Amino acid sequence: MPRRRRDAVVRRGIRHVGRAIALQPRIFAAALTGSALFAVMTVASAYVIGEITDRVVLPSFDEGSASTSALALAVVAILAVALLRIVGIIGRRLLSGIMQYRLQAQMRREVTGQYLRLPLSWHQQHPTGQLLSNANSDVEAAWFFVAPLAFGLGAVVIILITGGAMVVTDPLLALIGLVVFPLVFVINALYSQVMSPRQQRAQQLRAEVSEIAHESFDAALVVKTLGREESETERFDARAGELRDGLVAVGRVRGLFDPLIESLPNLGTLAVLLVGAHRVADGAIDVGELVSIAYLFTLLALPIRAIGWVLAELPRALAGYDRITPVLEATGETPYGPEDVATTAGGAALGLQGIGYTFAGVERPAVRDVTFDVPAGGTVAVVGPTGSGKSTLAGLLVRLVDPVDGTVLLDGLDIRRLREGQVSDHAAFVAQQAFLFDDTVRGNVTLGGPYTDEDVWAALRVAAADDFVTALPDGLDTHVGERGASLSGGQRQRLALARAIVRRPRLLVLDDATSAVDPAVEARILDALRASDAPATVVVVAYRQATIALADEVVWFEHGRAVARGSHGYLLGEVPGYADLVRAYSQADGVPA
C-alpha cells in the first residue's frame, strides 16, 4: 500500500476514534475511569507481590515459619487490589458496551431517518439489500472498535506507569524489556494497513450477499413458478463464495499477525528473566525487585494486545462508516414550505401546469409539458399505452417525487410550498401492487391511526371489501399474513383502497388500483366514491371501458404527454390510438366495445 494511503488510513482512524468519543463523552469518560482504575490496580498488584515476596515469603524460608499477622496482611492486600481491579473491569466493560450500543442506535436512527427524508427518486437508485446492509451490518461495523477502546486507552496508563516503575526499579532491565514495544507498535500499524482493504472488500461483499438474498426472497413466486431455483442458488453461491474468500483473506492476515504480536512481549519477558538472574547473582538487585519487574513486564502483554484489538477493528470500522457516509450526506430530501391547505369538506381542486419529470440517468423525459385541471369533486381518467408515463404522473400528484419542470397545484397552492404532512393529510394514493403488512385487517386499514371500527367498516363498504371481511374467520381481527398472503389479489387491492378511503382524502389517486377486481365490483367501488355527500377529487389510471365511462373527463397519454382530453365518447371517435386501446381491453374482458 502506498505510504500516502497508509497515512490517510491512520489519520482517518484517529478521527473516527475522536468522533466516537465526541458523541458519547460522559460514558466514555466513565469507562476510561474504570479502565484507569484497572490499570493502576494491575500495576499495584506487581508491587504487592514484590513486597509480599520480600517481607513474607523469603523471611518464612529463612526462619522456617511464617507470621500469622503477616500472612493476614498479605491476604488483605491481595484481596483489596483484586476487588478494585474487579470494579475497574466491570465499569470498563459495562460502560464500553453501553457506549457502543448507543452509538450504533444513534447512527441507525440517523440512517433510517435519512431513508424517510430522502425522495423516492433516491431510493430507486439504491438496491434494497444495500440499504438494509447500511442500516444493519455497516452500522455495527462502524462502532465495533468501541468495545475495546476504553481498555486500549487505559492500557496506555498501564504502559506509562509500568514503564516508569521498571525504570525506577532497574533501568537496565527496563531498557532490555522496553525495546520490544516499539516493534510491537510498528507491527500493529502494519497490520492495520494490510487489513484495511481486505476488510473493506469483505464489508462490500456482505452487502452484496444481502442484496441477492433479499431480491431472491422478494421474487420467490417468480423463481419457483419458472423453475429458476438452481440458477438463483448458483447466483447466491457465487457471491457467497466471494464473501467466504474475502473473510478467509481477513482471517489469514489476522492469523499471521496475532501470534506475532502476542509472542513479542513473552520474548521480552524471557529476556528480562535471563538478564535479571545475572543481576541478582551480582547483587545489583534483589529477588523481590526481579519478581516485580518480571511481573510488570508480563502485565504489559495484555495492554499491548488491547491496543492491537482497537487497531484491528479500525479497518472494518472505517469500511462500515465509508459505506454509511454517502447515505448520511445524501441531499435531495423533500423540501417543505410554510403554507397550509384550507380544510374544507369535499374534493380539492387539482391543477397541473407544464409539469415534466426525467429519471436520473435517463435522457428521455418520463413526463413532459403536462397541463390540465381537475375541478373539486371531479373525476378524471388517465389512459394510455404501457410506458406512456401514467404511473409517473400519479406519483407526481401526491408528491412521491417533485417535477423537474412545472407546478402541481392543490387548491391553487404549489404542493412544494406546503407544510410537511399537508399533502398526505389531503391526498391519498393507491398503487396497482397493493402492499399489506403481516397484521390484522383492522391494522392494515388504520395503520395505527385514530379510527374507530365504524370508520373502518364504512371504508370497507366503499371499497366493496365488507362482504369478504365479514366472511373471514375473525373479521377485522383476522391476520392476513406477510404481504397479505392469505388473500386474493383483488381482496388485497380492496383493503389497500379502504386504507386510503378511511382517511377521507380530498384527492384520491388510483394507479390502476382495481386491476385485479372484476368489472362489476370495480363499478360498485367507483359509484360509491361518487355517491358520497362530499366526494373526493379522483384521478384514476385506468384501461377498462366501464371505469373510464364513469369519469367526467379522460386524458389520453402518449410518450409522456397529454395529447388529448375530453369525454370517453369524444376520444373514441377522434383519437384512433385511444379507441384501439379501449377496444382491446374491452374484448379481453368480454365486454362489447
DSSP string, 229-295: HHHHHHHHHHHHHHHHHHHHHHHHHHHHHHHHHHHHHHHHHHHHHHHHHHHHHTTSS-HHHHHHHHH
* Stretch 468-476: mean pLDDT: 84
Of the candidates 115, 102, 13, the one whose C-alpha atom is nearest the C-alpha of residue 324 is 115
* CA 355 to chain CA centroid, nearest Å: 34
Burial class (CB in 10 A: 0-12, 13-18, 19+), 83: exposed
Task: Tell me which of 3.40.50.720, 1.20.1560.10, 3.30.70.20, 1.10.10.10 is the CATH number of domain 17-328.
Answer: 1.20.1560.10
List 553's β-bridge partners, or say none: 380
What integer pLDDT is reported at residue 120 of this predicted model? 74
Sequence-ordered list of residues with C-beta below 8 angstroms from that of 237, at least 6 positions apart, any chain: none
Backbone angles phi, psi at 539, to 5 degrees: -120, 120
Q: Is the pLDDT of residue 194 over 80?
A: no
Q: Is the pLDDT of residue 5 over 60?
A: no
Q: Which fold has domain 350-588?
A: Rossmann fold (3.40.50)
Would you say how long the chain is, in residues? 593
- What are the CA-CA distances from residue 25 to residues 417, 515, 535 (Å)? 40, 57, 57
- What are the CA-CA distances from residue 248 to residues 78, 210, 245, 252 (Å)? 44, 19, 5, 6
What integer pLDDT is reported at residue 301 of this predicted model? 65
Q: What is the spatial distance between Cα 443 and Cα 9, in angstroms, rounded to a whole number?
A: 49
Burial class (CB in 10 A: 0-12, 13-18, 19+), 592: exposed
- What are the CA-CA distances from residue 8 to residues 5, 204, 256, 329 (Å)? 5, 20, 24, 21
Q: pLDDT tens-digit profile of 97-147?
A: 899 889 989 999 988 888 888 877 777 777 777 787 788 878 888 888 888
Q: Which residue has the higher pLDDT, 91 or 11?
A: 91
Lowest mean pLDDT of 9-13, 356-360, 537-541, 587-591, name the range. Answer: 587-591
Q: CB 390: neighbour CB atoms within 10 A? A: 23
> Which of 159-168, 335-344, 407-416 has the highest mean predicted lDDT (pLDDT)?
407-416
* Stretch 375-380: mean pLDDT: 86
* Stretch 369-384: mean pLDDT: 86
What integer pLDDT is reported at residue 533 of this predicted model? 62
What whole-number percentage of the chain has pLDDT above 90? Answer: 1
The pLDDT confidence band at residue 58, using thresholds 50, 70 and 90, is low
* Stretch 56-69: mean pLDDT: 67
3-state helix, strand, coil in the chain (%, to 5): 65, 10, 25
Q: pLDDT tens-digit profile of 26-48?
A: 988 888 888 888 877 877 776 77
Q: pLDDT tens-digit profile of 212-271?
A: 776 777 667 667 766 777 777 888 888 888 888 888 888 888 777 777 776 777 777 777
- Biggest CA–CA distance in the chain, Å, is 123
What integer pLDDT is reported at residue 302 of this predicted model? 67
Q: What is the spatial distance between Cα 123 and Cα 140, in angstroms, rounded to a whole number?
A: 22
> Residue 555 is inside which H or E element, if any?
strand 553-558
User: Taking the chain, what is the end-to-end CA distance rounded to the nearest angstrom?
Assistant: 72
pTM score of the predicted model: 0.64
Sequence-ordered list of residues with C-beta below 8 angstroms from that of 522, at least 6 positions apart, any chain: 514, 544, 546, 547
Fill in the amino acid letter for 434. Answer: A
Burial class (CB in 10 A: 0-12, 13-18, 19+), 367: buried
The pLDDT confidence band at residue 586, using thresholds 50, 70 and 90, is low
List 428's β-bridge partners, or say none: 508
What integer pLDDT is reported at residue 3 of this predicted model? 46
The pLDDT confidence band at residue 62, using thresholds 50, 70 and 90, is low
Q: Which residue has the higher pLDDT, 355 or 208?
A: 355
Q: Name the H helices within 409-507.
A: 422-426, 441-446, 453-462, 466-471, 489-501
Q: pLDDT tens-digit profile of 275-306?
A: 878 777 777 777 767 776 777 777 666 666 67
Q: What is the spatial distance between Cα 235 and Cα 209, in angstroms, rounded to a whole number?
A: 10
Pairing of the two strands 537-541 and 553-558: unpaired
What integer pLDDT is reported at residue 4 of this predicted model? 45
Q: pLDDT tens-digit profile of 341-372?
A: 777 777 788 888 888 888 877 778 888 888 88
Q: Which three cell numbers stand for residue 141?
A: 461495523
The pLDDT confidence band at residue 308, using thresholds 50, 70 and 90, is low
Q: CB 175: neighbour CB atoms within 10 A? A: 12
* Stretch 558-579: mean pLDDT: 83
What integer pLDDT is reported at residue 240 of this predicted model? 85
Strands of 232-374 (E only): list them: 350-357, 367-374
Two domains, one topology: 17-328 and 350-588: no
Q: CB 590: neighbour CB atoms within 10 A? A: 7
The pLDDT confidence band at residue 6, using thresholds 50, 70 and 90, is very low
Backbone angles phi, psi at 464, to 5 degrees: 55, 35
Q: pLDDT tens-digit profile of 395-446?
A: 888 888 888 888 888 888 888 888 888 888 888 888 877 888 888 888 888 8
Q: Which three cell numbers stand for residue 164?
A: 516508569
Q: What is the spatial distance between Cα 326 and Cα 319, in angstroms, rounded to a whole number?
A: 12
Q: 512: helix, coil or strand?
A: coil
Q: What is the spatial distance between Cα 46 and Cα 556, in angstroms, rounded to a whole number?
A: 88
What integer pLDDT is reported at residue 342 of this predicted model? 76
Q: What is the spatial distance between Cα 177 and Cα 162, in angstroms, rounded to a whole number?
A: 11
Q: Is residue 294 a contact partner of residue 50, using CB atoms and an 8 Å limit?
A: no
> Which of 172-176, 313-317, 502-506 has the highest mean predicted lDDT (pLDDT)?
502-506
Of the candidates 294, 344, 271, the one whose C-alpha atom is nearest the C-alpha of residue 49 is 294
Q: Is the pLDDT of residue 9 over 70?
A: no
Phi-psi region of 351 (alpha: psi -120 to 50; beta: other; left: phi over 0): beta
Sequence-ordered list of residues with C-beta below 8 angstroms from that of 68, at least 6 positions apart, any chain: none
Q: Is residue 407 a contact partner of residue 355, using CB atoms and an 8 Å limit?
A: yes
The domain locations on the chain are: 17-328, 350-588
Pairing of the two strands 427-430 and 413-414: unpaired
What integer pLDDT is reported at residue 427 of this predicted model? 85
Q: Which three cell numbers stand for residue 449?
A: 391511526
Taking the CA atoms of 195, 197, 202 and 203 in sequence, report the sign of the dihedral they define.
positive
Mean pLDDT for all residues in the chain: 78
